[in-house]
Chains A and B, each alone.
Chain A
Amino acid sequence: MNAIQLDHLTLSVRGAEVLSDISLAVGEGEFVGVLGANGAGKTTLFRAILGLNTATAGAITVLGRPATRGNPAIGYLPQVRTAPPQVALAGRDFLAASIDGHRFGLPFPSRSAQRDIDRVLDLVQARELAERPLSQMSGGERQRLLIAEALIGAPKLLLLDEPLIGLDPRQQQVVVQLVHDLGRELKLTVLFSAHELNQLLGAIDRVLYLGHGRAALGTVDDVITPEVLTPLYGAPIDVIRAGGHIFVMSRGQDVERGHAHDHEHDHHHHGSR
C-alpha cells in the first residue's frame, strides 16, 4: 500500500489551477523533500492531502483511503503564517490543547493524554519544554514543540510545511536530522517542504519538485537535472554541483536562494491561498 497516491490530480486555488493532472505515489516509510518556487503548490498539495482543498479533478488516496478532513493518521506542522503568538502558556498546555481538540468539552487533558504529551516530548528530546512558556522559546525549540505536536496520536504520515523557516543553518540541520531519525524509528512517511534542497541532502529518500502546474518525483540525481527542472520553472535551468552542494540556477541566478530570504512574499502567497 502506498502512503500517498495521486491519480490525475488537479488542484485549484480560487479558480487558478496550481497543479494539473498529477499522478504519483509515495511509498510507506519514505522521507520526501517537497521543493518548488513560491506558489508552486506545496501548501496547496498538503492541504489537499489533509482534505482541506478539494480536487478539481482526479483523486488523492492516503494510506489506502480517499483524503478526508480530520484524518487521525496524518500529523501536520502548518507553516507559520503570521508572527508566532506571544502566548505565555507552558509547552505542556500548548500540546494538551491539540489532544482531542476537535471534541467539545473542557480543555483539561486526561492521564493518558498527559502520557502521550510526555511520549512525544521525549521523542523530540525536549522534555524540558513542557514547563517552559511558549513566549520564551527560541525558534528551534518552538519548531521542536510543533514537531512533537504533529506526533501526537501516533500518526503514520507527517506533513511538515516549511519547518526550517526562520531557523539558522545549524538549527535547520538539527531539525532535518531529528525528522529523519523519527521517520526511521517510528516508520513514518514524511513529506517535508523546504525552500532549499541542500539542507535536505543526505536525509531524504526522494524529492518531489513542483512548478508550473507540474510535478517531478524521484531521487535527487534523477530530478535535479536541467531537463526535468526547466519545464517546472518555465525558464532554462542549470544545475551546478560543488562541494557536496547542488545549486539550481536560472540565467546565472540561484533560484532557491532568490526567494529563500523573501519570506514576506511567501507569507503573502500562503495568506491568499
Chain B
Amino acid sequence: MSALLTYDFVLRAFAASGIVAIVAGIIGYFLVLRGQTFAGHALSHIGFAGATGAALVGVSPLAGLITFVVAAGTGIGLLGERMSGRDVTIGMVLSVSLGFGLLFLSLTTGHATAATTLLFGNVLAVTPSMLATLALLGVVTLAGLGWISRPLVFATLQPELAEARGVSLRAVGTLFLALVALATAQSIQIVGVLLVFTLMVGPPAAAQLLTRRLGAGVALSAGLALAQAWLGIVLAFYTDWPTSFWITALAAAVYAAAAAWARMMRRN
C-alpha cells in the first residue's frame, strides 16, 4: 500500500476520484430521489459527442464536454414536464449522441485510446491541471446544489404544494439538471461516459435503501461513492485490472448488499 502512494499519478488519481465521487454521490442522491436517473444517463452520452466534437475542431475536450452537457441539461430542464416520461425521445438523443461521437472520433485522425478513455475513463491519467479543474468544478457544483437544495427537495416530494407556495418548478428543475450536467462531466473524467451510473446512481440508490433520513442519506451516498472509487484504485493496482471495472463491480456489490439488507429489515 505504501508503495502505491509513492507515485504522483496515483496520488492524483486518489485526489481526483475522491473529489468526483463525493460530488457524484451527493448530486446522485437527488437525481435518484427525483427519479431522473435516465436523464443523467443521457447527459453523459451527449457529453461523448461534445468531447469528441471539441477534439475535432481543436478545442479542449473537457471544455467541449462541459459546454455540451450543461447546454443539454439546461435544455431538458426547460422542456420540463414535456420531457418527463419521454423515454423514447431521450433514448434517441442518447444513441444519436454516441453515433455523432463516433463520427467525430473517426474524423479526428483518431486513435483508439482517446475513445476508450472517454468511454470507460482513465483515472490514472489525471494531470495536475485537470485535478485543479475538477476541484474547482466540484466546489461550484456543490455550492450550487447547496443553494437550491431546499426548494429542490420540496419540489421533488410535493410538486403541487411547492408550486402553490411560489416555487418555480421549472427554474429549480433546470438549475438542478445543469448541476447534474457538471457532475456528469466530472464523472466522465474518472469512469467514462458509459459508467457514469456507477458513481451517480449506484451509491445513492444503496443509501436510500439503508437510511430514511435525508441528511444521513446524502452523507452515506457520498461516503459509499468515495469508498468505491478509492478501493477501486487499490484493487486495480494489485490486480492490474482496469480501475473502472473495479468501481463498477464494487457499486454492484454495495447495491446488492443494501437491497438484501433492506429486504431483511422489512421482513423483521
Contact = CB atoms under 8 A, between A and B. Distances in A.
Nearest to A96: B214
Nearest to B172: A104
Given A90-B212, A101-B150, A105-B147, A70 B158 contact: no
Contacts of B155: 101
B157 A105 contact: no
A196 interface: no
Given A98-B158, A107-B153, A93 B164 contact: no
Interface string A50-94: 111000000000000000011000101111010001011110011
Interface string A18-52: 00000000000000000000000000000100111
B157 A85 contact: yes
B150 A149 contact: no
A107 B212 contact: no
A218 interface: no
Interface residues of B, number: 30
Interface string B80-100: 000000000000000000000
Contact of B214 (A50, A79, A107): A107
A103 interface: yes
The bracket for how many chain A residues form the interface is 20 to 34
**For the complex, would chain B's binding face be called helix, strand, loop or mixed by DSSP majority?**
helix
Given A97-B158, A105-B150, A78 B164 contact: yes
A98 B166 contact: no
Given A88-B208, A88-B212, A102 B165 contact: yes
A231 interface: no
Given A107-B149, A107-B150, A149 B215 contact: no
B100 to A, nearest CB: 34
A100 interface: yes
Given A78-B161, A90-B213, 14 more contacts: A51-B164, A69-B164, A70-B164, A74-B164, A76-B161, A89-B212, A93-B213, A97-B150, A97-B157, A101-B153, A105-B146, A105-B150, A107-B150, A108-B214
A213 to B, nearest CB: 24
Interface in B131-151: 146-151
Contact of A87 (B33, B164, B165): B33
A149 B214 contact: no
Interface in A101-126: 101-108
A87 B158 CA distance: 11
B231 interface: no
Contacts of A88: 208-209, 212
Contacts of B152: 107
A103 to B, nearest CB: 6
B146 A106 contact: yes
A108 B157 contact: no
A139 interface: no
A103 B151 contact: yes
